[in-house]
């Protein structure tokens, strides 16, 4: 039992890490721009496809392919900010609807370009097993957890101590005040979108080798990432990390008691229940969207 539990906790930490990457990107964009981008999941999916493309057609080196993917999607994110989300600023409903349009467009674009069938990204780290006590995990699992931990750490350092990160935080706390003290607010918007999208791309590129690359691969991580954000407290970066991990571990551990098929429902039920008890989530300071 203990071993089974540990196994599920580590599995959960892996999927949870993916949710954290998605949630971090969304929370960053939400914090700075107050935009909730439901299309974040399809950007994650594009991350998987682009990584496959760069790996097989261009570099042959996985790490390099991941970095190229992040760079490419950062550009896409910046373009979406300029072209779609900036003109809709302040209109929550239309932003959400536009992001639904992007889901439809990009998911089917992937089908049109790469076909409906899943692609495989072959990297050695999925084959190599690492022993942890009596349990064995693919190296890719641990790689995902490690990379996410590093990203989270880097993010905290960046937001806390770098000049740019401070400017981002200032913009997220009070746009007008930030503008008054000379922070180029519009540039912060583009930066947060580019960075957030790059994180989604990283998630897709990391998960690709493990679970195949297919047009709907971003749907579940997007919704779970959202659940993580709500759970952690809308707009809170530490909340997104903790929330994403809770969702990942809870759904993984639930498979010990419930049929695997209900894993997703467990994650959502936990989210709804916690939110009913704590409307602002675990770390929520401000419940934006409240009247």
Does the footprint of other proteins cover residue 129 (CB under 8 A)?
Answer: no
Segment interacting with other proteins (CB under 8 A) among 89-97, 137-145, 174-182, 199-207: 89-97
Structure tokens at 124: 């050695």
Structure tokens at 267: 């994650």
**Distance from C-alpha of 197 to C-alpha of 179, rounded to nearest angstrom:** 24
Q: Which residue's CB is nearer to other proteins, number 93 or number 163?
A: 93
Give the position of tokens 């049109």. 112
Does the footprint of other proteins cover residue 88 (CB under 8 A)?
Answer: yes
**Are residues 232 and 241 in contact, defined by beta-carbon separation less than 8 angstroms?**
yes
Does the footprint of other proteins cover residue 106 (CB under 8 A)?
Answer: yes
DSSP SS3 for 214: coil
Q: Which of 96, 139, 149, 185 binds other proteins (CB under 8 A)?
A: 96
CB of 113 to other proteins, least distance (A): 9
Q: Which residue's CB is nearer to other proteins, number 7 or number 107?
A: 107
Does the footprint of other proteins cover residue 92 (CB under 8 A)?
Answer: yes
Segment interacting with other proteins (CB under 8 A) among 56-64, 158-166, 172-180, 274-282: 274-282
Mask for 60-79, x = binds other proteins (CB under 8 A)? --------------------
Q: Which residue's CB is nearer to other proteins, number 20 or number 39?
A: 39
Does the footprint of other proteins cover residue 227 (CB under 8 A)?
Answer: yes
**Distance from C-alpha of 64 to C-alpha of 122, rounded to nearest angstrom:** 14
String of DSSP letters for 183-225: --HHHHHHHHHHHHHHHHHHHHHHHHHHH-B-TTTTHHHHHHH
Q: Which residue's CB is nearer to other proteins, number 157 or number 269?
A: 269
String of DSSP letters for 234-282: TT-HHHHHHHHHHHHHHHHHHTTTS-GGGHHHHHHHHHHHHHHH-TTTT
How far is CA 249 from each of CA 48, 259, 266, rounded to the nearest angstrom?
23, 16, 11
Residue 213 carries which DSSP code?
B
Does the footprint of other proteins cover residue 173 (CB under 8 A)?
Answer: no
Residue 212 carries which DSSP code?
-
String of DSSP letters for 59-73: IS-HHHHHHHHHHHH
Q: Which of 3, 104, 129, 157 binds other proteins (CB under 8 A)?
A: 104
Does the footprint of other proteins cover residue 261 (CB under 8 A)?
Answer: yes
CA-CA-CA-CA torsion sign (243, 207, 40, 42): negative
Q: Which residue's CB is nearer to other proteins, number 114 or number 158?
A: 114
Does the footprint of other proteins cover residue 276 (CB under 8 A)?
Answer: yes
Q: List residues near other proteins by CB under 8 A.
A: 36, 38, 84, 87-88, 92-98, 100-109, 111-112, 219, 223, 226-227, 230, 234, 259, 261-262, 264-265, 268-269, 271-272, 275-276, 279, 288-291
């Amino acid at each position: 039992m203990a071993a089974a539990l540990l196994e599920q906790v580590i599995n959960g930490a892996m999927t949870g890490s993916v949710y954290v990457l998605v949630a971090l990107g969304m929370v960053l964009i939400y914090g700075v721009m107050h935009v909730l981008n439901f299309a974040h999941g399809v950007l994650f999916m594009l991350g998987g496809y682009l990584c496959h493309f760069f790996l097989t057609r261009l570099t042959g080196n996985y790490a390099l392919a991941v970095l190229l993917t992040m760079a490419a999607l950062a550009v896409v994110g910046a373009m979406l900010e300029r072209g779609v989300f900036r003109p809709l600023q302040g209109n929550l409903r239309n932003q959400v609807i536009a992001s639904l349009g992007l889901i439809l467009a990009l998911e089917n674009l992937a089908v049109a370009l790469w076909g409906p069938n899943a692609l495989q990204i072959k990297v050695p780290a999925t084959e190599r097993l690492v022993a942890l006590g009596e349990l064995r995990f693919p190296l890719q699992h641990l790689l995902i957890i490690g990379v996410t931990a590093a990203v989270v750490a880097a993010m905290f350092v960046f937001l806390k101590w770098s000049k740019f990160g401070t400017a981002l935080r200032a913009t997220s706390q009070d746009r007008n005040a930030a503008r008054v003290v000379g922070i180029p607010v519009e540039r912060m918007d583009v930066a947060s979108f580019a960075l957030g999208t790059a994180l989604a791309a990283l998630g897709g590129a990391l998960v690709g080798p493990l679970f195949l690359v297919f047009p709907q691969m971003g749907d579940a991580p997007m919704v779970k990432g959202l659940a993580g954000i709500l759970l952690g407290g809308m707009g809170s970066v530490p909340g997104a990390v903790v929330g994403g991990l809770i969702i990942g571990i809870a759904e993984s551990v639930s498979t010990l008691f419930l049929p695997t098929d209900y894993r997703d429902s467990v994650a959502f039920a936990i989210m709804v229940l916690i939110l009913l008890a704590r409307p602002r989530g675990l770390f929520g300071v401000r419940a934006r969207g409240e009247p």
